[in-house]
Amino acid sequence: MDQRSPRGQPRTSASAGPGGRLRTSSRRLPRRRRPVGPRTEGGTNRQAAMDLGVGESTVERWRARFVQRRLDGLQDEPRPGRPPSILLDQVEDVLVATSESAPGRDTHWSRASMAARTGLSKSTIGRIWKKFDLKPHLQDSFKLSTDPQFVDKVVDVVGLYHNPPERAVVLCVDEKSQIQALDRSRPVLPMMPGKPECRTHDYLRHGITSLFAAFNIADGTVISELHRRHRALEFKKFLVTIDKAVPTELDVHLVCDNYATHNTAEIRTWLDRHPRFHIHFTPTGSSWINQVERWFGLLTDKLIRRGVHTSVKALEDDIKSWIDTWNQDPRPFTWTKTADEILESLADYLAKINPPSQPSKE
């Protein structure tokens, strides 16, 4: 796939024509015709070189080759080196088979199964997949929202991210519920050269806690609160905490999901009594649009997933300490996608899985 010319430059079959050089030669041919063209006819080699901005030896070489072989003399000479062993048709066959078929009863291709199908080596299959960024062994997941107001909610929330209102703070709010205080049944074996950290698969449970968090999209700071239970009552307490933390002259725009505790009669009554609070709900089943979820991911990766805690209090103390450290050097996220781009991407996907029906020929 990737062979080297004598000068060390990559030479691939994807850029080579007959003989491996036709495309490159075709681009160079007009330049090589200039020393033998009408404009330089009758002039000396030195004068032609000055007019064309090339070396005198270059003019001399191409004029001599033109005299001997006419236009054929301006083509590339055969060069040393083994020609590409993988043809474009073979590369295309691997790409099409990888993305549009399955190996028998298996769900996806491996290098070995694709090599057996095509007759190429496993290392060649690996290089082709790497060059075209194909990873048959990986799989992502997604969920389509069934919210009838999906479009309106996406436009509303993403509009806040790109154009936050003046004299207001935008907070992404959610709860990370049932965080477990886990202790391993045996001590963790530390990382060593050539061996990762090792821990037992079984563990001891010591209780749970819930983290309420409000992520400020402007500066990345987080307002947080820990509760042992996760009800509308705890959410109302957290709203009071936010109200105290945000300067009174600013409006508060909250981005949150449609969880039942966010929309009870008690919560609606509290919001009516605090008119500076404005709720923006994300579409059902679309937690990815809430920036605090990304922050929860960092918290999980950096602390919770590999943490060892012998009590709920120890877990809560570690979470509080981690958040305090975060707020000393907060990092806001940059939301790049517009609402139109998100909706267009969704429309493209739906068009792929629901192709338009063919009109009847009756």
pLDDT digits (tens, 9 = 90+) for 273-331: 999 999 999 998 888 899 999 999 999 999 998 888 889 999 999 999 999 999 999 99
Please determine, for residue 24, whether its predicted confidence score (pLDDT) is greater than 60.
no
d(CA 192, CA 43): 74
d(CA 276, CA 278): 7
- CATH architecture, range 154-337: 2-Layer Sandwich (3.30)
- HSE (side-chain half, CA atoms, 13 Å) at 170: 22
Provide the β-strand partners of residue 50: none
DSSP state for residue 11 in the 8-state scheme: E
Residue 198: count other Cβ atoms within 10 Å of its Cβ. Answer: 11
d(CA 244, CA 225): 13
| Average pLDDT rounded to a whole number, residues 163-186 | 90
More confident residue, 22 or 114: 114
d(CA 158, CA 339): 6
Counting residues of the chain whose pLDDT is more than 90, the rounded percentage is 47
Contact between 298 and 330 (Cβ < 8 Å):
no
Domain segments of the chain: what residues? 3-74, 154-337
Q: Given pLDDT bands bounded at 50, 70 and 90, which one contains residue 259? A: confident
pLDDT digits (tens, 9 = 90+) for 193-239: 988 888 778 778 889 999 999 999 999 999 999 999 888 899 999 99
| Average pLDDT rounded to a whole number, residues 166-179 | 93
Q: Secondary structure of 78-113 in the HEC alphabet?
A: CCCCCCCCCCHHHHHHHHHHHHHCCCCCCCCCCHHH
Query: What secondary structure does DSSP assign to 284-326, as a single string?
Result: TT-GGG-HHHHHHHHHIIIIITT---SSHHHHHHHHHHHHHHH
Residue 109: both structure tokens together? 């291709």
